[in-house]
Amino acid sequence: MLDLLANPNTQWVLVGTMLLGITSGVLGSFALLRRQSLLGDAMSHAALPGICIAFIIVGSKEMLPLIIGAGITAYIGTYLIQAFVKHSRIKTDTAIGLVLSVFFGIGIVLLTYINRNATGNQSGLNEFIFGQAAAMVRSDVNLFVIAAIALLTITFLLFKELKIITFDREFAQGLGLPTVFINGLLMTMIVASVVIGLQAVGVVLMAAMLIAPAITAKYWTDRLDVMVILSGVVGGLSGLLGTLISAPISGMPTGPLIIVSSCSLFFLSLIFAPKKGLLTKAIRLMKLRRSTGDNQVMQGMYEFIEDTDRDTLSFEDLIRVQPLSGLRLQQTIKRLQKRNLLHPSSETYQFTDKGIKAAHQITLNQRMLQMYSMHEMQFAHLPMEKNNWDFLSLPNSEQQPLFELLTKHELFPSVLQERNEDR
Amino acid sequence: MNPVSTNNITVAYHRKPVIQNVSFEAPEGKLIGIVGPNGAGKSTLIKSILGLVPKASGNISIYGKPYKKQRQIVGYVPQRGSVDWDFPTNALDVVLMGKYGQIGLFRRPNKKDKQEALECLAQVGMEAFANRQISQLSGGQQQRVFLARALAQNASVYFMDEPFVGVDAATEKAIIQLLTDLKSKGKTVLVVHHDLQTVKDYFDWVMLLNIRKIAFGPTEDVFTQDNLQKTYGGRLAFLDQESNGVNPLA
Ligand SMILES: Nc1ncnc2c1ncn2[C@@H]1O[C@H](COP(=O)(O)OP(=O)(O)O)[C@@H](O)[C@H]1O
Ligand SMILES: [Mg+2]
């Protein structure tokens, strides 16, 4: 491994793939949020004919002309898609499919032509289909460095404009911002980040290079600036991993491994990201189900006692007064007994002192919510969303009108009071 | 000079005329409702004034000058559904966007901008949600964030597209309070509105629109059965109720 890293060729490839990863990650964030993931795919496919035409004109595989050619046809493809959508009844996905296949088809035809005529299949343009990072040379990387610096600097300087145009273009226009210019600039930057990645990753997989880091980053944050930076980091890391994994194994393609790396990072985030990951979501859902189940059983029992004046429920009673059943009910009962809210017996069900108090609070809060909903306009000033709909945490003066309504509707929870009076 | 004056605006989408020859002069310091059936062109009227859709013909001036020169003093609250609320940003940040025009290219919002944005959030009762991700807000709260963003623009004329649709009571109350505040500061507010029952309570002036302008004037003068009939035709649900003895216009 260290030997490999000492090899200047590998070093260049490494720098190149990391730069590509970073720029496509950063610009990919905007593409994703503008819902233009598919557009990225069309762009990269539409670049192929440009590469071929540039090669035919220049006659050699020099990076700068190829990239310019790629950029031009990718831009034309993108423009055509937007024009189709704007001026005809064709929907975006159809327009993208159309442009993508037509341009890619033309590209393949040109490529075949070049391969026939070039000196014995030596053009090396085929690598643009699936990418060949190992073919990167120092002058290519120099070009990438310049492009990356330019793209990242513009993103940094115009960050707030790029943000508002991505979030709400009409509003930006209303503010008098030069939206046509900024939009064109952003499209150009996305095209640029796509075409400079083509050599390493290839037209087929380039869209994944653009989108995977961005989706990954979005799992970890709720802020655009953090997302853009993270996405760049994920892209760069994927470039690093893909190159390092593929380098020691001969015949291992770097481009696809870069994509595999970024997709692995995506799957890890999908499952393990805090807040948005599937695992966290599953745990949160389970907790919510438990606490609502607990509350339903408690309130059901409380209202039974309220209605019947009996303080012990049989299993049949319990089934009747609340919506849970089967295993879930048994687990809930066990939990309530463990929390010392129910007496620990298995035939009949009875609140402990602590339990009846808790049930009273639950029932009271639920009924206050009911009153609140009935008279929403009157209570609109209450900060209920802020305090998680906990009416009992309100100051007394705010609770009073709700209490009066409860009394008026004869809904004030009565069990606890009667017990206190009994004593 | 009138805050908004339009002369024969016509807008067509794919040759289908959506609004035709709409001319009006909005008076200063009034709350003005724009009502009309679905698809009557209410949103289109606003968007054409703001230059967001191309006009087939017509002129618009804001305080006597073309809109392009007056953008800074015109605020816009789009329909809530017009953006992706899953966008990674928080409430305060969205409100700050209202100041991007004043802040200028390349520069970043500073402490003072943030402070002012926070005050705008407070005006709509949302200061506690400043750092909340916008997808975690209820529909009404999202609407209030949009209003706060328009406030941050510090405009003189506001256009709002159905701000009351799908909001909770707390938001409705906050919006009305806000409209009244704006009016008392001499601002002019044009609001596309859906609920005919509340038109008389909320608006000083009203425009009845159905592709053409049916009527425009002080609410008590033009919000009449006759004009409503002309605007809504047989589609007016509550004219039917009248025959059942309920007349919300009375
Ligand atoms: N972008 C558009 N392209 C084509 N037709 C549109 C577009 N926007 C609105 N329309 C049509 O224009 C008419 C008026 O729309 P709109 O102004 O949104 O009405 P309103 O806001 O009064 O409900 C409708 O018939 C609608 O279908
Ligand atoms: Mg509308």
Q: How would residue A63 be classed by pLDDT, with cut points 50, 70 and 90?
A: confident
- Please choose from B9, B11, B13 the residue to mutate so as to test ligand 1's pocket, defined by most ligand atoms within 8 A of CB: B13
Q: Can you give the residue range of the structural domain that contains A336? A: 280-422
Distance between CA atoms of residues A83 and A73, nearest Å: 15
- 8 A C-beta contact, residue A259 and residue A208: yes
Give me the CATH number covering residue A346: 1.10.10.10
Residues 142-171 of A with CB under 8 A from B: 157-161, 163-164, 166-168, 170-171
Task: Select the residue of B74, B87, B109 nearest A174 (Cβ to Cβ).
Answer: B74
Q: Is the pLDDT of residue A136 over 90?
A: no
Binned at pLDDT 50, 70 and 90, residue B145 comes out as: very high
pLDDT per position as a tens digit, B52-73: 999 999 999 999 999 988 988 9
Q: Assess whether A413 and A383 both reside in one domain.
A: yes
Smallest Cα–Cα separation from B163: which of B153, B148, B185?
B148
Model confidence, pTM: 0.86
- Find the mean pLDDT for residues A1-6: 68
Q: pLDDT tens digit string along A17-43?
A: 999 999 999 999 999 999 888 899 999
Q: Does any ligand 1 atom lie closer than 6 A to the CB of residue B40?
A: yes
Note whether A147 and A214 are same-domain residues: yes
- Give nearest CA residue, ligand 1 atom 18: B43
* Strands lying side by side in the sheet with B16-26: B16-26, B4-13, B57-62, B65-66
- Asked whether the beta carbons of B58 and B4 are under 8 A apart, the reply is no
The residue-averaged pLDDT of A71-100 equals 92
Q: Are residues A82 and A193 in the same domain?
A: yes
Number of domains in chain A: 2
Average pLDDT, chain B: 90
pLDDT band (50, 70, 90) for residue A120: very low
- In this structure, the answer to whether residues A70 and A197 fall within a common structural domain is yes
Last residue of a domain, one of A255, A273, A291: A273
- pLDDT band of residue B245 (cuts 50, 70, 90) is very low
Residues A316 and A350 in one domain: yes
Whether residue A266 is found in the same domain as residue A308: no
Q: How far does residue B167's CA lie from ligand 2's centre (Å)?
A: 16
Are residue A237 and residue A90 in the same domain, yes or no? yes
With a 6 A CB cut-off, is B184 part of the ligand 1 pocket? Answer: no
Identify whether residues A159 and A221 lie together within a single domain. yes
Dist CA A17 CA A12 (whole Å): 9
Report whether B22 contacts B9 (CB < 8 A): yes
- B95 → chain A, closest CA residue: A164
The identity of residue A325, as a single letter, is S
Q: What is the pLDDT of residue B247?
A: 46
- pLDDT tens digit sequence for A314-361: 999 999 999 998 899 999 999 999 999 999 887 889 999 999 999 999
CATH of the domain at A144: 1.10.3470.10
Residues A251 and A337 both lie in one domain: no
pLDDT digits (tens, 9 = 90+) for A157-173: 999 999 999 999 999 98
List the residue whose alpha carbon is closest to atom 16 of ligand 1: B41
Using CA positions, which residue lies closest to atom 24 of ligand 1?
A: B39
Token pair in block for residue B63: 């305080």
Test mutation, A154, A169, A171, chain B, max B CBs within 10 A: A171
Pair (A251, A309) in one structural domain: no
Whole-number mean pLDDT of chain A?
90
A236, A258, A273 - which closes a domain = A273
In whole angstroms, how far apart are CA A249 and each of A12, A136, A253, A262, A273? 18, 17, 9, 19, 32
Q: Which atom of ligand 1 is nearest to the CA of B44?
A: 17
**Of the residues A258, A273, A288, which one is the last residue of a structural domain?**
A273
Residue whose Cα lies nearest atom 1 of ligand 1: it is B13
Q: Say if residue A233 is in the same domain as residue A301.
A: no
Indicate the pLDDT class of residue A249, thresholds 50, 70 and 90: confident
Interface test with B, best of A89, A175, A269, A388 (most B CBs within 10 A): A175
CB of B4 sitting under 6 A from ligand 1: no
CA distances from A376 to A380, A409, A412, B170, B242 (A): 6, 16, 19, 8, 27
Closest CA of chain B from A63, distance in Å: 32
pLDDT of residue B181: 92
Q: Is B10 on the interface with A (CB under 8 A)?
A: no
- Give the gap in angstroms from C-alpha A126 to the nearest C-alpha of chain B: 39
Q: Over 80: is that where the pLDDT of A123 sits?
A: no
**A269 and A284 housed in the same domain:** no
Among the partner residues A157, A160, A218, nearest to B100 by beta-carbon distance:
A160
Distance B37 CA to ligand 2 centre (A): 9
Per-residue pLDDT at B81? 84
pLDDT at residue A419, rounded to an integer? 63
